[in-house]
Amino acid sequence: MKWTKEWGKVTVFTCVDDNAARSAVIAPATEIGFEGVDAGHLDASRIIENLGLLVGQLVYGSGFGNRVSLRAFVAS
C-alpha cells in the first residue's frame, strides 16, 4: 500500500516558538513527501508527543503492525 496515493500524506506535527525553526522542519518534511502541520507553540509539544504513544499502542498492542500512521485533515 502506498500511503500517499490511497490515504494521503503522513502528517509531521511541529511545535516551535521560532518561525525559522518551523520552516527548517516543515520544508524538508514536505520535500520528502510528508505534510508538515504547524501544531502551535513549543508548550503544545508535550501534548503532540503523546501521539507517539497512541501509535505505539496501535502498532504493538492492537497488532496493526507497520500499517499505522497519523494523518491530520485540516479544513481550508
pTM for the predicted model, two decimal places: 0.66
The gap from C-alpha 8 to its chain's centroid, in whole angstroms, comes to 12
pLDDT at 10: 81
Triad 53, 36, 55: Cα angle to 5°: 15
Give residue limits of the domains in the chain: 3-67
Q: Residues 34-44: pLDDT tens digits?
A: 888 889 999 99
Q: Residues 35-70: pLDDT tens digits?
A: 888 899 999 999 988 888 888 888 888 878 777 777
The rounded mean pLDDT for the chain is 82
Report which secondary-structure segment, H or E, holds 11: strand 11-14
